């Protein structure tokens, strides 16, 4: 993958929007994949409702980014894209707890960590429209992390397991590179994601 250029240039902006559209496209697939792949697990109807809702929102996010790319005369598919998200899906194909730890609780939570800085950089580059789009995505993604926490906790408790221990175990075994601070503890806490899971302080413990 070529290194991303500065946000201020036309090429840099297109590269950023393209990379984000690629993430959202994978997120659509991951939303449907968790539904289909783990449909045999003992899970309540609400689990499936939640991930249908997530997949639908990821579709909205992809559409918003695709339209913004079109404003710059570009479209999804113009640039190469990495396969990291789908590798994460393959690595956790046999383990719903691994999937929840890696996708909503590591990757989407990481999105919460890095998005505020991206929004600031877009604003400084004179692109409030793209910044607003990212703000909308950021708000929705807090809900996706919240769904991840809800079902991760539910499954751990149903199996008599301690959620924070299972989380750390799955990150060690299934998430290459591990977690990368700094964490956006405020946004993670808003999603109901306890800081003790990922080894940070949220000021309440
Ligand atoms: Fe999204
Ligand atoms: Fe998401």
* pLDDT at site 146: 98
Which has the closest alpha carbon to 27: 111, 97, 149, 93? 111
* CA count, 13 A, side-chain hemisphere, 31: 23
pLDDT score of 203 more than 50? no
Is residue 200 over pLDDT 80? no
Considering every ligand atom shown, identify the ligand nearest to the alpha carbon of residue 137 and give its number: 1
Q: Among all ligands shown, which has an atom nearest to the Cα of 110?
A: 2
Give the pLDDT confidence of 29-41 residue by residue, as tens digits: 999 999 999 999 8
How many Å lie between the centroid of ligand 2 and the Cα of residue 65? Answer: 14
In this prediction, residue 9 carries a pLDDT of 87
**Euclidean distance between CA atoms 190 and 138, whole angstroms:** 12
**What pLDDT does residue 19 have?**
96
Mean pLDDT value of segment 9-32: 95
Mean pLDDT for the stretch of residues 116-126: 95
Return the pLDDT at 85: 86
Q: How far apart are CA 198 and CA 9, in angstroms?
A: 36
Q: Within 10 Å of residue 49's Cβ, how many Cβ atoms?
A: 12
pLDDT tens track for 153-177: 999 999 999 999 999 999 999 998 8
pLDDT for residue 88 = 87
pLDDT for 205 equals: 39
Determine the pLDDT at residue 204: 44
Average pLDDT of the segment spanning 3-12:
76
Q: Name the band, by pLDDT with cuts 50, 70 and 90, for residue 147.
A: very high
In this predicted structure, the answer to whether residue 23 has a pLDDT above a threshold of 60 is yes
**Ligand 2 centroid vs 143 CA: distance in angstroms?**
8
Is the CB of residue 107 less than 8 Å from the CB of residue 86?
no
Q: Give the ligand at the shortest distance from the Cα of 191.
A: 2
Task: For residue 104, report the distance from its CA to the centre of ligand 2, in Å.
Answer: 7
pLDDT in tens, 57-113: 999 999 999 999 999 999 999 999 988 888 889 999 999 999 999 999 999 999 999
Cα(201)–Cα(194) distance, integer angstroms: 9
Ligand 2 center–CA 144 separation, angstroms: 5
Whole-number Å distance, alpha carbon 29 to ligand 2 midpoint, is 11
């Amino acid at each position: 993958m070529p290194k991303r250029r500065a946000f201020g240039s036309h090429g840099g902006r297109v590269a950023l929007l393209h990379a984000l559209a690629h993430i959202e496209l994978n997120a659509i697939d991951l939303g449907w994949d968790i539904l289909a792949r783990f449909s045999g697990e003992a899970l309540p109807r609400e689990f499936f409702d939640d991930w249908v809702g997530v997949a639908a929102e990821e579709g909205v996010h992809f559409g918003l980014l695709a339209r913004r790319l079109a404003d710059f005369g570009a479209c999804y598919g113009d640039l190469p894209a990495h396969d990291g998200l789908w590798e994460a899906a393959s690595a956790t194909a046999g383990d719903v707890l691994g999937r929840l730890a890696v996708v909503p609780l590591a990757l989407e939570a990481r999105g919460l960590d890095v998005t505020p800085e991206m929004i600031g950089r877009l604003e400084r580059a004179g692109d409030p429209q793209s910044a607003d789009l990212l703000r909308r995505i950021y708000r929705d993604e807090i809900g996706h992390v919240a769904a991840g926490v809800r079902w991760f906790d539910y499954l751990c408790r149903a199996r008599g397991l301690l959620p924070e221990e299972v989380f750390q175990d799955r990150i060690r075994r299934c998430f290459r590179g591990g977690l990368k601070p700094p964490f956006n503890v405020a946004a993670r806490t808003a999603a109901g994601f306890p800081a003790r899971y990922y080894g940070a302080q949220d000021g309440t413990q």
